Structure 1
Amino acid sequence: MTVREIRLYGDPVLRTACAEIGEIDEGVRALVDDLIETVRVPGRAGVAAPQIGVGLRAFSYNVDGRVGAILNPRVVEVRGEAAPTGEGCLSVPGLWHDALRHPYARVEGIDVDGRPVILEGEGLFAQMLQHETDHLDGMVYLQRLPKDTRRIAMREVRESDWF
């Protein structure tokens, strides 16, 4: 298990939709181990595979004592009106803006043994589910910002010392 380096906004892997995981082999198991180890760093709620440079549908999570990973996740249900919710991203360090998120989300996928997994929750957990599945679809939270806010955020990205 290794804590992997986080890819930063501008890296093409973050804007590319991820491939479904077919066979769960030792490579996929190692990816899951690395995702979990990487999300355990304090202050992290979720890490998607493209954030560590891998274009496969998988993410790990660490919210309110719930730590794990899911393969081939899909958001199957959201509830409540999407509302501006303070959000940041490891791939866009130092920025914090309100993205539109639903207060409840349900995601379905599989675990490393191929068994069905359902993750659902409200608040921060729901936000994490939506944020991480967005990554797997090639979307960074900046794309969820209102137009005027997105313009400000993109200026902040261009002026950052990491871009």
Structure 2
Amino acid sequence: MSIRPILIIPEPKLRAISRPVEKIDGEIRKLVEDMFETMYDAPGIGLAAIQVGVEKRVVTIDTARDGEDSKPIALINPEIIAASDELSVYSEGCLSIPDFYEEVERPARVAVRFMDLEGKVREVEADGLLATCVQHEIDHLNGVLFIDHLSRLKRDRVIKKFTKQAKREAEG
């Protein structure tokens, strides 16, 4: 297992649409292990493969709070198959947009279909934080960032800030 570097905006790869996983093999299992290690180290509660530069439809999630037993979930080729009309608002953050948090409104409950690491197709209904996290990570697989759910003004400010920061770092 190894910790992989997390891509930070304005990295263009974060806007790529990830490709489906054709088969679950050693490479995918290693990716999932690395993603969990990277996510826990960050620390975060969700990570999409594209955030570590891999354009595959793979997500890792663990919404356990401090002091709770961990609840790691790996989702391969996840898709939302149903969403509630009821909405909820969570303050979201993102490992690819460090130290920026903003309230985002999303469906309160979703049903998601995915493959597990054994290749079995599963369906799970999620609500609360898990529903928000699943939607946030599936957005990543489609090249969408949580800031895309904000007003254009807020989104542009965030992108400008991180673009300046990236430029300063590149100039050394």
TM-score by length of 1: 0.89
Of 152, 159, 162, which residue of structure 1 is paired with 2:157? 152
2:24 matched residue in structure 1: 24
Q: Is the 8 A contact 1:6 1:52 kept in 2?
A: yes
List runs of 5+ in structure 2 lacking aligned partners: 65-69
1:106 Cα deviation from its structure 2 partner? 1.9
State the alpha-carbon separation in 1 of the partners of residues 61 and 156 from structure 2. Answer: 29
1:121 matched residue in structure 2: 126
**Residues 15-94 of structure 1: pairs in structure 2 closer than 5 A:** 15-41=15-41, 43-64=43-64, 65-94=70-99
State the alpha-carbon separation in 2 of the partners of residues 84 and 159 from structure 1. Answer: 30
Q: Is the 8 A contact 1:95 1:156 kept in 2?
A: no
1:4 matched residue in structure 2: 4
Label 1:157 to 1:99 Cα distance change in 2 as closer, same or farther (>3 A).
farther
Q: Is the 8 A contact 1:13 1:54 kept in 2?
A: no
1:101 matched residue in structure 2: 106
**Structure 1 vs Structure 2 CA RMSD:** 2.0
Larger Rg: 2
Residue type at the aligned position of 1:151: D
1:119 Cα deviation from its structure 2 partner? 3.3
Q: Is the 8 A contact 2:9 2:163 kept in 1?
A: no
State the alpha-carbon separation in 2 of the partners of residues 4 and 14 from structure 1. Answer: 15
State the alpha-carbon separation in 1 of the partners of residues 21 and 91 from structure 2. Answer: 31
2:138 matched residue in structure 1: 133
State the alpha-carbon separation in 1 of the partners of residues 139 and 93 from structure 2. Answer: 13
List runs of 5+ in structure 1 lacking aligned partners: none
Label 1:120 to 1:40 Cα distance change in 2 as closer, same or farther (>3 A).
farther
Label 1:15 to 1:42 Cα distance change in 2 as closer, same or farther (>3 A).
closer
